[in-house]
Homo-oligomer: A and B are copies of this chain.
Amino acid sequence: MSHNTFGHLFRVTTWGESHGPAIGCVVDGCPPRIPLTEADIQPWLDKRRPGQSKYTTQRREPDAVKILSGVFTDADGEQVTTGTPISLMIENVDQRSKDYSAIAESYRPGHADFAYEAKYGIRDPRGGGRSSARETAMRVAAGAVARKVVPGLTVRGALVQVGPHAIDRARWDWDEVDNNDFFCPDAGTAAIWADYLDAVRKAGSSTGAVIEVVAEGLPSGLGAPIYAKLDQDVASALMSINAVKGVEIGAGFASAALSGEENADEMRMGNDGSVRFMSNNAGGILGGISTGQPVVARFAVKPTSSILTPRRTVTRAGTDAEISTKGRHDPCVGIRAVPVGEAMLAITIADHYLRHRAQVGA
């Protein structure tokens, strides 16, 4: 995994800046003969698309994906993958004309501005350039391909905390997730968040969030000791998402306070001859290898630093300054991180599915 490529065998390389002519990715290593059209990808992009409620950034992009390579119509008339690299591209449309001179000269606290400049000695300040969350659109597009690689795999996600307000897990209902603006699985909490985020938005402030993603239907045996553990790569995948500051698997940080008796998931034989786990503190992974239980991961997203309140900073020239964000403003970037987290989990599992098939066979 190097620079702008994620994955070892199912490899996703993304490119593009927020305000360049386009963004794109190359998906390499995808198995052949998988049905794939733009219609398989577009719905996931639509789910992530900004500007769909007042709680996310108002940038308006159709985010229409094009497949530029790697597919062909087979003898049955179906468009399928050919095993060659799949190039996906989205043209940038709404690069709103704007004066970037302020942020070109001052580093926004909490943004990547200072670090990019320290590393490269140059950065594209328009919309955050490469560090913009716009890049995550291509993760979602690649994730749509990944979802088709592992037979039987389902990957879902939900927002489980906004600011200090966590959901009531006892009321978790997957069907609720698409019924509100927050991918919230608990209708009651969704209402609380709506009020909370209205206040945050009006104050020109922002808040953090926690997202949970769950993969079901994957086989046991995915992952490998010692440095290709499935949970290790899930952590890498999720921590690579913009603004993420923490990742946990299964019981996660809470496991620190558990006893050995409480934590270990006991097993019994099921009536169908398969092994049943009596709990899932492991989050579906033991020794870095999937057990067949659902893989459960959570990640924390910090509040965006693009807020209306002026903050103290410094300039490229080395003087003290103040800066505040103008224009489009996103009170909770964690909302749109849900489909992105799903995509990264799907990509990681697809990659490990191919890796497992290499070493152990189908």
Contact = CB atoms under 8 A, between A and B. Distances in A.
Given A239-B235, A302-B251, A205 B261 contact: yes
How big is the A interface, by class? 35 or more
A220 interface: yes
A245 interface: yes
A20 interface: yes
Interface stretch (A49-57, A77-85, A171-179, A180-188): A77-85
A314 to B, nearest CB: 5
Interface string A28-70: 1111110000000000000000000000000000000010111
B2 A303 contact: no
Contacts of A229: 239-240
Given A227-B5, A235-B247, A220 B115 contact: yes
A198 to B, nearest CB: 15
B220 A300 contact: no
Contacts of A225: 3-4, 84, 112, 116, 130-131
Contact of A220 (B20, B85, B87, B119): B119
Interface string A104-137: 0001111111111011111110000111000100
